[in-house]
Each structure stands twice: as C-alpha cells, then as structure tokens.
Amino acid sequence: MTRQQAELLLKTALANPAAQFRDGQWQAIDALVNQGQKLLVVQRTGWGKSSVYFISTKIFRDRNMGPTIIVSPLLALMRNQIESAQRLGLVAETMNSTNVEDWRSVTARVLANQVDCLLISPERLANDSFIETVLTPIADRIALMVIDEAHCISDWGHDFRPDYRRIVNILRQLPAHTPVLGTTATANNRVVADIQSQLGEIQIQRGQLNRESLALQTMWMPDQASRLAWLAQVIPTLPGTGIVYTLTIRDAEQVALWLNQNGINAKAYHGSIEAEGFANSNLYRQQLEEQLLRNQLKVLVATNALGMGYDKPDLSFVIHYQAPGSIVAYYQQVGRAGRGIARAVGVLMSGVEDQDIHEFFRHSAFPGEVQVNEILQALALSDGLTIRALEEQTNLRQTQIEKVLKLLSVENPAPVIKLKSLWRRTAVAYQMDQARMRHLTAQREQEWQQVQNYLTEPGCKMNYLRMALDDSQPEPCGKCSSCLGYPVINPIPDALLAHQAGIFLKQAEIVFKPRKQVAPSKADTTRAFPVYQFPRLLGELAAEEGRILSRWNDAGWGKTVAAGKHGGHFSDELVQAMTDMIRVRWQPNPAPAWICAVPSLRHPNLVSDFASRLARQLQLPFFNLVEKVKNNQPQKGQQNSFHQCRNLDGAFAVYQPIPNGPVLLIDDIVDSGWTLTVIAALLRQHGCGPVYPAALASTSVHD
C-alpha cells in the first residue's frame, strides 16, 4: 500500500477530491498496514484519527482480513465518522450496554463477515462473558485493535480506569506482528512514558495541541448560590451552545433544574440519568448528546460522564461549576469548546465543597484492606459465590463488594475470577499493594494542587495548561483574563439572583423512592425476614413516594440537620422548612390525615419531638403508634440489603387502633430506606392507609 493509494481512500472518505493527509496520518497508516506495528498517536481531537483507522480497516478488508475492533468509551460513532465509514463502503456496528438486544444479530453478522468495524466499550472488553460469547468466536480473524482514549491506560493519567487495566493486559500479550493503534488527545510526557513502559515496543507519534480560539478565566466563588446566580445571568448572554461541568450527579441535576427555572434550555447528563420513554440511561444520554449537537439545547449540565471524544466543533463555552481534580482532566473538558469556531470561552469556577468532594473521591478510590480480606476469605471457603451470597456472608455494601471484585479482578494474575455467574478464588496469593495506592493518592493530591494553582495563576492561563501537558508555547495566548488584565466575563453575580438561588438551594428536596421488592428470590426474602415474613414483592405493603428535605451536610438544609442531630434537637427552622416542603411543593394526594414517627431506643425523643411539632404546624394529629421492641444493632452499621433487613426483622411493634386515612411517617436521617420500608409495611399490615415517608436528610451514597 502506497501513500498515493491510501490518499485516494482519504479523498473518498471525506468526499473531497482535494483532500490530502494531515501531518502524521499516512505515517500512522503505513506503520499499521505495512509494518504491523503498535502505535500510540497523541493528536488533538479533530486531527482525524478516525480517518487513520477507517482507511487502515479498508486496506485490511481488501486483503481479505477480518474486522477492526475499536475500544472506545463513546456510546456511538459521531455522525461524521459514520458518514466517512459509509463512503469507504465500511459497515460499522456498535456493541455496548445500550443495545444488548442487538448483540445476537450483530454477532451473527460479524461471524458472517459482514461487519468491518466493531465499536465496543472498555467495560465490554473487561467482561469475560462478552469476550467468550462475542469476541472469542471472531478473534482469530481480527485485523486491528484500536484503543481510543489510550491515556486511561496510565496510572499517571488523570482518568485511570480499571477497565483499561484489563485492556493493557490484553495488549501486552499481543505478538510483535499484530498491529494496534492507541489514540489520545491528552497525554503529557509522563503518561506517554508510562504507556510505553507498560506496553513495551510501541511507537509514539505526537502532534501539537492548539486551542487558539479559547479565552480562559478562573473564579473562586465559595458559595453555590453565587455560582448558580452567575450561571443564570451569564449563559443567556453567551452565543451558541455549551457545557456546564459539575463534580457530582446531584449537582448536575440541581444546576440543570435551576437553569431551567431561569428560562435556560438546559438538561442534566450523568452516568445514571434516566428519562421516560428511554429503555435505559445510555439511550437517553445518546439522545442528549444528539440534542446538543443539533443545537436543540442551550447547555448540557454534565458530570465527567459526558463522553470523552464528544466532538462538537462549534461548542462555544465550557463552564465548570466545580473544579475538576486535575489539569489534564480540565484541559480535556474545556478543550471541547471552540474546536471549529473563532471564539469560545472556558471559565473555571471553584467553591468550598470542591476540596471535600475530591477528598472523598480520593478516599473512596480504593476499598479497605479489611473488606478485601473478608471477601477473599469468603471465596476461599467455596467453589464460587454470587454477589448476593457474598452480601450475606460479609455485611458489605453491594457496591463495595462490586468495587473490591473489580479491583481484584483487573489484577493480572488476579486473586478472583468470574467463571459463568460465580466469583471464584484463584490460586493466586494476594497482598494489597499499599505502596502503589499511596503513590496514586499522592499523585491525585498533587494534581489537585496543580488545579488550585491554576485558579490563582497570574500568568497566561493557556500557557499554564500547555505546560502541564508538556506542550509549552513561549507566546502568551493574548485572550485569557491574565493576558487581558481584565475578566473575559464579568465575575460579579447579581445580588437578587444570588438571593433567589439561596432559596432554591433550600428547596432542593429529594424524592424518596419506596422499595417494592424485598430480595431477588423467595429464599433470600425468607432468610431476611424470618419474623415478619414479608412477601418478596411488597405490593400493597409498599410505602408511597416520599420526600427528603436535604442531603446530609449540603448547602441547603443539610448543615442545619447535621447540627440538630449532633445537638439532640431539630430547630423550629427545620419544622417550618419541612412544613413548606409538604404543603407548598409536595402536596401529597390524598393528603395525610395523621402523623407518626420512626421510634428509637437510643434517642427516644429526637424524632418524636420533631414530628409532634411538625404535626402542630401542619394541624394534624400525632400518634406515636410504632414502638421499638428490640434493641438491635445500629442500622447504619448494616452495609447491605440482607443485613439491613435482618437487623430490622422483629424490631418494631405497631399499636392498635390505627387511625383512618393516609399517614405521614417521619424520620430524621435516611440511608438505605429499609427502616421506612419496614415500618410502612407493618403499618399497612395493620390496616393503615397510604404511608408517606418524609425525612430531614439523606446520607445515601446513591444520591
């Protein structure tokens, strides 16, 4: 294959008879198709890496070879990518969690040699049953593997992901003559060196980063109300569309809601967002990406789940509501703006909560040694366990168990492996690598420090970013707030808007979704509730939808609730807040006729006192009809559903007679929601009307 022949393919792909290879494109194709090399390409987004792998695929297919596998966190190829593949006569298919129902037909077509490019997500490649059923049957003929966003391979990368660790281990086993293409737009020297050391013989091709159109600005704004106000006043003044990044799912939803209330067409985007009419989160996310692409939204309010590689050349602003954990992550996100337009802005805001959130991320990045050993111990005594069985045997959260198993199973060799549906202990000795975890944590702290330095950087902001990415540029950008000597956008929030934002934050209650099912099987249900003997599906016994006033310690009422809990008394302010929430915003229908409190032996008066004052305020009778009859373990010590249920079994008794009508069931802090679920079920068993749970704060990690 010569350059001329390949260039003809490029002209076809781009439908442009004048098209010529950009710097490095032909060299990359040549390395893959003529020399069977392994290659890491570090090029800015929009450079045209998809041309490289589509043309290479075309050449391999013409040689009668098998398909190309593209491993990418993207949910789908971008529209322009699909179009250029089509022009080359290539059939591209996607397999990820969004289209499980298509897997069978796609697999059949791949096996029948009708697919040229298969796009799969990294988490698919880390899934043994996917590899076994889909990939292995076609793997003999795979011509090329492409690893998108290859910087995720590196420990040093800002965005190291366990699934990529599995990918590295696969790449390491590839023989010398099997070509691989890794691509990334953001990798500094250390990341490149790390990838090189992990993969051995791999060629590096590096291009220039450039964002000539981007005007950067930073703002330290401690309180959320000010930041919300600023967003609401600034976004309508910005041309075009953009992205607001938040650190947490809850913030994404809250900011989106606020912007909408202020007449801005915004939608929240995060890893678990759902919407009616969409079978799953991924399908809805694709729709959101599409809407932004078509300018049907002003702004997406997103966590970092907004896919890497999301390419909208005319995106005109990226604003961070909270600061990300590293400069590389920031560059990658802010770099989405202004790719194909003359002017775009990137504003980094940072508030008081950022520090705590990153601290939490760092702290929860690795599971504790005790948990790891507990799980290994349970597995060692068996010939394989399900996650549910591990919950019973360990009293660890399901998410903790999954995290431990993930961490352990990406080791190579690994102490655990999933065969069929069971997790099995291998004969591999395991010791947690504390030194490596300390190293990674220290790395994260250093990266966070770099972000804080950026916030106060007096010199050219763009050069600061470039330096951190080892792409130093002696010339200042001339566009950022430092170069200008004045703000790109006025940083002062409107006082009235800030006041309204403050109220908004205090009215940001959480919907309590009642549990409808006790356990996945009848046997599990029986073991969980030997005394109460609830049915597996609660049905009529289930609570209604409820409300939780705040998130524990949040910027709304969360801090007041925490202070009340510690001081042994919830203030009248909270009674009023709760009253407003119920009367003004929630308005449960049919309306509650009486009030009841969740009992406690440890703090017998705290909740009942609050509930009785609330009852007075709502002008409803308060009947303390539920009694705690067993001095059980603190519920917060129960880490998973099985143990949470077991601990509550037989703990409560209900007095007769039960008043008529719906009841408001009051608790202070909600975590798993099992206490409210169990008491509601008991009340219902005793003939009670609909049960509306309401609580002051949620500590659930899922919110």
Q: In the complex, which residues of this chain contact other proteins (CB under 8 A)?
A: 34-36, 65, 69, 128, 131-132, 135-137, 139-142, 145, 166, 169-178, 200, 380-384, 409, 411-414, 417, 419, 424-429
User: Considering beta carbons, is residue 417 or 563 the nearer one to other proteins?
Assistant: 417
Q: What is the CA radius of gyration of the chain?
A: 28
**Least CB distance from residue 179 to other proteins, whole Å?**
8
**Least CB distance from residue 175 to other proteins, whole Å?**
4
Residue 180: both structure tokens together? 């691989």
User: Considering beta carbons, is residue 379 or 541 the nearer one to other proteins?
Assistant: 379
**Least CB distance from residue 414 to other proteins, whole Å?**
5
| Closest by Cα among 386, 264, 691 to 515 | 691
**Least CB distance from residue 427 to other proteins, whole Å?**
4
641-648 and 387-394 helices, crossing angle to 10°: 50
For the chain, the distance separating the N- and C-terminal CA atoms, rounded to the nearest angstrom, is 55
What does the DSSP assignment read for 59-72? HHHHTT---EEEE-
**Least CB distance from residue 139 to other proteins, whole Å?**
4
**Least CB distance from residue 594 to other proteins, whole Å?**
56
User: Considering beta carbons, is residue 148 or 667 the nearer one to other proteins?
Assistant: 148
**Least CB distance from residue 493 to other proteins, whole Å?**
52
User: Considering beta carbons, is residue 386 or 449 the nearer one to other proteins?
Assistant: 386
Helix-strand-coil split of the chain, %, nearest 5: 45, 15, 40
Do the Cβ atoms of 44 and 93 come closer than 8 Å? Answer: no
| Segments in 335-480 forming alpha helices (H) | 352-363, 369-380, 387-394, 398-409, 434-456, 461-468
Beta pairing partners, 39: 181, 203
Between CA 424 and CA 447 the distance in angstroms is 37
Do the Cβ atoms of 409 and 380 come closer than 8 Å? Answer: no
Between CA 637 and CA 164 the distance in angstroms is 34
User: Considering beta carbons, is residue 203 or 291 the nearer one to other proteins?
Assistant: 203
Residue 3: both structure tokens together? 């350059």
**Least CB distance from residue 392 to other proteins, whole Å?**
18
User: Considering beta carbons, is residue 394 or 500 the nearer one to other proteins?
Assistant: 394
Between CA 683 and CA 675 the distance in angstroms is 12
Residue 471: both structure tokens together? 């792409």
> Which run of H or of E encompasses 654?
strand 652-654
H helices, E strands: number in the chain: 28, 22
User: Considering beta carbons, is residue 165 or 211 the nearer one to other proteins?
Assistant: 165
**Least CB distance from residue 242 to other proteins, whole Å?**
40
User: Considering beta carbons, is residue 146 or 235 the nearer one to other proteins?
Assistant: 146
**Least CB distance from residue 418 to other proteins, whole Å?**
10
| Closest by Cα among 633, 648, 647, 639 to 679 | 648
Backbone angles phi, psi at 435, to 5 degrees: -65, -40
Task: Return the C-alpha torsion angle 528, 530, 535, 537, nearest 10.
Answer: -10
Preceding omega of 590 cis (within 30 degrees of 0): yes
Please report how many Cα atoms fall inside a 13 Å half-sphere around the Cα of residue 366, on the Cβ side.
Answer: 17
User: Considering beta carbons, is residue 93 or 289 the nearer one to other proteins?
Assistant: 93
**Least CB distance from residue 108 to other proteins, whole Å?**
13
User: Considering beta carbons, is residue 143 or 209 the nearer one to other proteins?
Assistant: 143
Residues 6+ positions from 123 with CB-CB distance below 8 Å = 96, 97, 163
Furthest CA-CA distance within the chain: 89
What is the three-class DSSP state of 334? helix
User: Considering beta carbons, is residue 35 or 660 the nearer one to other proteins?
Assistant: 35
User: Considering beta carbons, is residue 82 or 170 the nearer one to other proteins?
Assistant: 170
User: Considering beta carbons, is residue 417 or 488 the nearer one to other proteins?
Assistant: 417
**Least CB distance from residue 115 to other proteins, whole Å?**
15
Which residue is it, tokens 């006790």?
518
**Least CB distance from residue 68 to other proteins, whole Å?**
11
Distances (CA, A) of 566 to 556, 561, 585, 595: 18, 9, 28, 24
